[in-house]
Amino acid sequence: MSTQPRALIVLNVVSVILLAAAYYASLVYAPLEAVMGQVQRLFYFHVATAWVGMIGFVLAAVAGIAYLWKKDLKWDAISLAAVEISLIFFFIAIVLGSIWARPIWGTWWTWEPRLTTAAILQMIYLAYLLLRQGIEDPEKRARFGAIYTLLGGISVPLTFVSIRIFRSIHPVVIGAGGAEAQGSFSMAPVMVQVMLFSIFAFSVIFVTLFWHRMRLGSLESRVEQLKLKVMQ
């Protein structure tokens, strides 16, 4: 693989700095929440990783539409990269949410609307990766992936609004939550700043990882093309 572009090297450094700053902001700079205490500090990374993960799934759906329109395999590569990275972020969000839930809800997991839709969303895209492996033809695989990510993308807004349209114990971060919500809290201005900064930091990290994955995908594509030529 060719040497990393200078812009990517700079982005690597910026990502590390932003991640360190987000840790400091969450663990030190942000004020201690009066009721939940230290465990509430997971909130900043939980929200940021969940948000970035869902944005990546949306990006995959948009790339799927672009492939169906243009028939260019680069859009399939974009879709695949977005899904792979988003799955990691979204899994981290689920794990952090479970750690947060244990002292607040008294359980690691409960099948309430947000957690249920989040689990389904994770499984939908895990299935996407598994099903792709069974299709050898690049064009058929790309067409399948485009349609799948387009349909799977419907689950993203459903997961986001689930706690707003169903009775849920999951707190609503932005806007008024239901009376059943457990673990909700009023955010001071500093908390809002830290949350937004964490979202920004993880967005930059997503872009960095995405760029690296696309470079790796380009190499994989060339290897696959060589294999197809040998088999012909």
153, pLDDT greater than 70? yes
pLDDT in the model for residue 127: 94
* pLDDT confidence band for 179 (50 / 70 / 90): very low
pLDDT tens column, 104-152 = 888 888 888 888 888 999 999 999 999 998 888 889 999 999 999 999 9
pLDDT tens column, 64-85 = 999 999 999 999 999 999 999 9
pTM score, whole prediction = 0.87
**Alpha helix (H) residue ranges in the chain:** 6-24, 42-70, 73-105, 113-132, 138-152, 155-165, 189-231
pLDDT in the model for residue 47: 92
- Residue type at position 25: A
pLDDT in the model for residue 92: 95
162, pLDDT greater than 90? no
180, pLDDT greater than 70? no
